[in-house]
Homo-oligomer: A and B are copies of this chain.
Amino acid sequence: MTDNLKLYTYWRSSCSWRVRIALNYKDIPFDPIPKTPEYKEKNPNGVVPSLLFPDGKLVIQSSAILELVDELYPQKPLLPKDPFKRATVRSICALIGSDIQPIQNLRVLNYVGETKQEWAAHFIDLGFQALEAMLIKHGGKYCFGDEITLADAYLVPQVYNAKRWGVDMSKYPVITAINDRLVELEPFKKSDPSVQVDAQ
């Protein structure tokens, strides 16, 4: 055991992946704790991620964790200082984190049943039309201009899901170009599901 932060995580969970990206980008050491059946006792919502601090404080919900991490560890900030720019970054995060990802996560898809492939592709497609427009307006090398922000931590897992569910990414050249640049960066490589301790 170490005094590191502990991240309750699951290799393929988009929301865990976002937090891994932020922690790795800021060079914050953490111990990943893969999701187990006992996990639900610690988190009333029963979902990863949650972040456990050495003093026992446990924080759930990726958006709340990411804001907290950026507040507590100001090195390499993931939100701009200007309030309106912050708002734009947060709106890109919310477009992915509220309008796209929750509707195509496994909990929902398992309930949808046999039409889940069509369901996931439909809602990711709808969301990506809006996202592509946002990134044309606000993006640069990355989602918001040329600096890494929280929005980039949301983008990469969502593009992975889009590909997994067969979305035609050729319709989204700006999303694709930004994602291609991000996945080459070291903190993003370290956060990829395929290299997690619980990867299958």
Contact = CB atoms under 8 A, between A and B. Distances in A.
- Total copies of this chain within the assembly: 2
B130 A98 contact: no
Contact of A102 (B59, B71, B83, B98): B98
A103 B110 CA distance: 13
Nearest to A107: B126
A63 B130 contact: no
Interface residues of A, number: 42
Interface string A115-131: 00001001100000110
Contacts of A134: 44-45
Contacts of A60: 91, 95
Given A44-B134, A94-B61, A84 B68 contact: yes
